[in-house]
Amino acid sequence: MEILHPSFSPELAAPTRLEDLVAKEPFLQKAWDVAETAHAGQTRKDGKTPYFTHCIGVARIMYEEWGITDPEKLSVGLLHDTIEDTDLTLDNIRTVFGEEVAFGVESVTQFSPENEAKLIKAEADFESAKKVFAKTLIDPIVAIYKLADRLYNMRDMAAITPQKRTENGITSLNYFAPLAESLGMWVVKRELENLSLQYTDSKKFEIYSGLMEKDPRTNEHFIAYMTSFLTEKLKDEGTECKVSYRKNSLVKIMDKAKNNLFKDIDDVISFRVTVSSKDERSIRNECMKALGVIWEEFGGTEDQKRFDNFYFVPRDNGYSAFQVTLNLPEGAIKIAITSKEKEDYNNWGVLSSLKKGKTDLKKYALKLVFTPMGEVKFFPPSANGFDYAYHIDEKLGAQAMEMLVNGQRQDLATIIPNGAVVKILGGEERIAPDAGVVHHVLPKTKQKIDRQFLELEMTEQQKSGREIVTKIISQRGLLNLYDILRLKEYSRIIMDILDQLGSKGSLTRLYQSIGSGVVSEKDLISELDRNGITKEAMGFTSVLIEGPDGPGRLNFFTSTVEKLGGNIRRNYGESAKQIFTQHFVIENLNEGAEKKLGELLKKDPRIAKVIVV
Ligand code: ZN
């Protein structure tokens, strides 16, 4: 199945096979020979395949798929299981291959976030658990070795028991895919997720891989058409580029399908336009030009709300591209435009830096933080309690007050030590945290907080918009626009008014526009007048009454209205916590009758609050 294709990238990969490199590099040849001899006679789980094929496979992923060419690092790939499974000792390896290889093999042998998590679960007492795992940050190169090892095993599960497959799937989803993501190795993350899903939830795997396969956007003719169309159009404009595509992981799509129609998910497939040019400035100009071509060619289908400029302002994880969403008859698709170099980073993160010869990967170092349930989370070393809380859940982040770090109360701004167990203590329900928090957090967290502040501002604008609307419509015998939206002879008219005011189908959007001043009071008044939403034309009276609950309240009201000649068109209300609230829309009450009704209600001792408009 194509979605399970290996994480192979022609641009990143070295041009030769591992065997060719081994033949040229005596150091690597030595590692090969030593590992092969050490594992001699051992087989994989099927009892037939020599164990050493796994070691070759891990080094092959590192070299052929990930483009790592350093013989010492590839030697770690070949030797990684020798201390654990053979008679070789760490000292042997150190003597023959030196410190770097020995460090790599030792670290891979020890690195096991899933075991550490199990330990945390078993040992509620942190003090004893703490002694067991190393307190150093996760070295990115060790994580790379471990991910190659895990990826090989996930692709090679045919011979192992169903129970073990499920276990591997779970640990891959919980630890290794997030680890790959934390290092920016998105291609690896997606493959691990897809491979895991078929063992952790085979039903969902079937459903979603079926949906993916049948979707018109993943049809090979559509992909071929889009690819050649984009390539040709850009070529016509003199832009040199390569067009490729990528499918999102099933896990990610499943997640998005919870809140979206499948056809509206815009990254089921995304087309990637990578522009190459001689210098940064001309690359940027070419990207802008490509963007212009897409806007022009797909004019009517572009989703204005889903344009992202991550080219000039990269995401916190370093992702960098222009992104356009098109609503095509086949469904929504995303087109990303960026430079070849940036795309390499978008796909491979830390590996892309490693390949460029940047050996100092310290900025990618990660710490482990455990949830009280023993789950593992990966963070940059500077992460504090706010970062942790927002990572777990944005709502929790907004409400967080304090945290327990290994059982001790701490301020949320405290940097969490590596390996700590952290529990967030929440406060009252709220949308956004206190102002000022935003200065002490990781960029990723800051983005989330900024969004919450925007939302808070929006709800406040909506509130003030709603007050303005209420004031205007109360002069028209209405307390709420929903009231007449629900009456069949008016619903069409109200929808038209919303359309006219740029608030298509949504009262909330109207409140927002008026609250923020995009639509003026005058605009609303003249639209209402023009459409006959006036007291004179409709002849409505609206009433709100509130008071302590008791028998006969509603009957008393209805009979009073009828006696005055009125006809109740709509009523709704509730009696909660012994308070009775009712809301009515009445027609046919003349001015005198309306006044009379108000007086009667105000005199009634059972009613605490009356509004008549
Ligand atoms: Zn292994």
Helix axis angle for 186-200 and 140-155, nearest 10°, is 40
Do the beta carbons of residue 364 and residue 354 sit within 8 Å?
no
Per-residue pLDDT at 459 exceeds 90: no
Residue-wise burial string across 64-85, b where 16 or more C-beta atoms lie within 10 A, e elsewhere: bbbbbbbbbbbbbbbbbbbbee
Distance CA 314, CA 318 (A): 5
CA of 153 to the centre of ligand 1 (A): 8
Do the beta carbons of residue 170 and residue 176 sit within 8 Å?
no
CA of 148 to the centre of ligand 1 (A): 9
Distance CA 497, CA 72 (A): 71
Give the H/E segment covering residue 339: strand 331-339
**% pLDDT > 70, the chain:** 93
CA of 345 to the centre of ligand 1 (A): 27
Looking at residue 608, its pLDDT comes to 85
Helix (H, G, I), strand (E, B) or coil at 408: strand
Distance CA 349, CA 145 (A): 15
Helix (H, G, I), strand (E, B) or coil at 95: helix
Looking at residue 122, its pLDDT comes to 65
Looking at residue 4, its pLDDT comes to 40
Cα 568 to Cα 478, 484, 594: the distances in Å are 13, 13, 13
The 269-275 sheet, strands edge to edge:
241-247, 269-275, 331-339, 322-328, 308-309
CA of 251 to the centre of ligand 1 (A): 25
| Nearest partner of 377 among 443, 322, 423, judged by Cα | 423
Do the beta carbons of residue 451 and residue 438 sit within 8 Å?
no
Q: How confident is the model at residue 6 (pLDDT cuts 50, 70, 90)?
A: very low
Looking at residue 128, its pLDDT comes to 52
CA of 416 to the centre of ligand 1 (A): 31
Per-residue pLDDT at 190 exceeds 60: yes
Per-residue pLDDT at 141 exceeds 90: yes
CA of 27 to the centre of ligand 1 (A): 20
Give the H/E segment covering residue 297: helix 280-297
Looking at residue 514, its pLDDT comes to 92
| Nearest partner of 209 among 456, 48, 3, judged by Cα | 3
Cα dihedral: 458, 461, 465, 467 (round 10) = 120
* CATH 3.60.40.10, applies to 210-354: no
Looking at residue 575, its pLDDT comes to 61
How many CA atoms, within 13 angstroms, populate the side-chain half-sphere of residue 250?
Answer: 29
CA of 592 to the centre of ligand 1 (A): 89
Q: How many CB atoms lie within 10 A of CB 409?
A: 9
Distance CA 450, CA 457 (A): 11
pLDDT in tens, 31-54: 999 999 999 999 998 899 999 999
DSSP 143-212: HHHHHHHHHHHHH--TTS-HHHHHHHHHHIIIIIHHHHHHTT-HHHHHHHHHHHHHHH-HHHHHHHHHHH
Q: Name the average pLDDT for the chain.
A: 87
Looking at residue 278, its pLDDT comes to 78
| Nearest partner of 413 among 378, 377, 385, judged by Cα | 385
Mean pLDDT of 202-212: 93
Cα 466 to Cα 463, 480, 545, 582: the distances in Å are 5, 9, 20, 20
CA of 76 to the centre of ligand 1 (A): 11
Place of tokens 């609250």: 515
The domains of the chain are located at 16-199, 210-354, 368-438, 441-534, 538-612
Mean pLDDT of 111-121: 71
Q: Is 259 exposed, middle or buried (0-12, 13-18, 19+ CB in 10 A)?
A: exposed
Q: How confident is the model at residue 580 (pLDDT cuts 50, 70, 90)?
A: confident
CA of 440 to the centre of ligand 1 (A): 40
Distance CA 90, CA 101 (A): 10
CA of 55 to the centre of ligand 1 (A): 6
Helix (H, G, I), strand (E, B) or coil at 110: helix
Looking at residue 8, its pLDDT comes to 44
Structure tokens that stand for 223 in this block? 């992909």
Residue 179, phi then psi, degrees to nearest 5: -65, -45
Mean pLDDT of 363-390: 89
Helix (H, G, I), strand (E, B) or coil at 538: helix
Positions of E strands within 127-216: none
Per this entry, what is the length of the chain?
613
Distance CA 443, CA 316 (A): 6
Looking at residue 5, its pLDDT comes to 40
Looking at residue 359, its pLDDT comes to 67
380-384, 407-411, 547-551: the lowest-pLDDT one: 547-551
49-53, 234-238, 372-376: the lowest-pLDDT one: 372-376
Q: How confident is the model at residue 27 (pLDDT cuts 50, 70, 90)?
A: very high
Do the beta carbons of residue 322 and residue 311 sit within 8 Å?
yes
CA of 94 to the centre of ligand 1 (A): 19
The three-state (H, E, C) secondary structure of 37-91, written as one string? HHCCCCECCCCCCECHHHHHHHHHHHHHHCCCCCHHHHHHHHHCCHHHHCCCCHH
Q: How confident is the model at residue 15 (pLDDT cuts 50, 70, 90)?
A: low
Query: For the structural domain made of 16-199, what CATH number should be given?
Result: 1.10.3210.10
591 CB-near residues (< 8 Å, 6+ apart): none
CA of 16 to the centre of ligand 1 (A): 23
339/2: higher pLDDT: 339
Q: Specify the amino acid at residue 225.
A: Y
Residue 87, phi then psi, degrees to nearest 5: -80, -10
Looking at residue 2, its pLDDT comes to 39
Per-residue pLDDT at 522 exceeds 50: yes
Looking at residue 207, its pLDDT comes to 93
Do the beta carbons of residue 189 and residue 249 sit within 8 Å?
yes
CA of 8 to the centre of ligand 1 (A): 20
Mean pLDDT of 74-97: 95
CA of 372 to the centre of ligand 1 (A): 30
Per-residue pLDDT at 133 exceeds 60: no
CA of 285 to the centre of ligand 1 (A): 46
Structure tokens that stand for 408 in this block? 């001790």
pLDDT in tens, 318-372: 788 999 999 999 999 999 999 998 999 999 999 988 887 776 788 888 888 888 8
Bridge partners, residue 542, by sequence:
585
Q: Is 271 exposed, middle or buried (0-12, 13-18, 19+ CB in 10 A)?
A: buried
What Rg value do the Cα atoms of the chain yield, rounded?
32
Do the beta carbons of residue 449 and residue 441 sit within 8 Å?
yes
CA of 354 to the centre of ligand 1 (A): 22
**Measured CA angle at 176 (ends 172, 179), to 5 deg:** 155
Residues belonging to the active site: 84-85
What CATH topology corresponds to 538-612?
Alpha-Beta Plaits (3.30.70)
Looking at residue 222, its pLDDT comes to 96
Q: How confident is the model at residue 508 (pLDDT cuts 50, 70, 90)?
A: confident
pLDDT in tens, 410-455: 999 999 998 888 999 987 888 888 877 777 888 888 888 988 888 8
Distance CA 65, CA 348 (A): 11
Q: How confident is the model at residue 486 (pLDDT cuts 50, 70, 90)?
A: confident
Residue 247, phi then psi, degrees to nearest 5: -100, 145
**Measured CA angle at 104 (ends 101, 106), to 5 deg:** 110
Distance CA 187, CA 212 (A): 18
CA of 136 to the centre of ligand 1 (A): 22
Positions of E strands within 257-330: 269-275, 308-309, 322-328
Query: For the structural domain made of 368-438, what CATH number should be given?
Result: 3.10.20.30
Looking at residue 283, its pLDDT comes to 87
Place of tokens 């709502």: 395
Distance CA 320, CA 32 (A): 39
Q: How confident is the model at residue 307 (pLDDT cuts 50, 70, 90)?
A: confident
Outline where 374-487 has alpha helix (H): 385-392, 394-399, 443-474, 481-485
Measured on CA atoms in the order 494, 499, 501, 506, is the torsion positive or negative?
positive
Per-residue pLDDT at 3 exceeds 50: no
Measured on CA atoms in the order 63, 66, 72, 77, is the torsion positive or negative?
negative
Looking at residue 316, its pLDDT comes to 66
Mean pLDDT of 585-593: 90
